[in-house]
A = this chain, B = another copy of it.
């Protein structure tokens, strides 16, 4: 007889924390699994794969709603993959924008930190730049 996968075991195998698994069940991202006599959840291998899929997508910054769509697509392999492609593409554009904006922030933070002469707050470059946006180096923010 196969050993049943407890929620703790599922967490270990998928890398998704126990309360998060329960949360995903609650919001309907993961189907409610069967229960043991003692009312404990037990999972199948397919659930573990689904959890790993979700975790990976979350790491890539996809929103729960996008993941919901991606999971539906995965369940129906004959559909054209334009929707999946579109979601990934949208996310790629987001990430590119975020990188650009973070690079601008980085430049400005470097200016602050380098300009700081470790003296008094009165002549601190960090405080000064924060107080006056005009002192920013053309940062796109």
Contacts and interface: CB of A to CB of B under 8 A. Distances in A.
A95 B100 CA distance: 12
Interface stretch (A5-13, A17-25, A29-37, A68-76): A68-76
Given A80-B121, A121-B78, A121-B81, A53 B130 contact: yes
A92 interface: yes
B121 A74 contact: yes
Contacts of A108: 60
A113 B127 contact: no
Interface residues of A, number: 52
A40 interface: no
A103 B113 contact: no
A38 to B, nearest CB: 32
Contacts of A113: 85, 88-89, 92
Contacts of A116: 81, 84-85, 88
A63 interface: no
A4 interface: no
A52 to B, nearest CB: 7
A68 B106 CA distance: 21
Nearest to A55: B133
Given A95-B102, A95-B106, A95-B109, A80 B118 contact: yes
Nearest to A15: B133
Given A74-B131, A81-B127, A127-B84, A60 B105 contact: yes
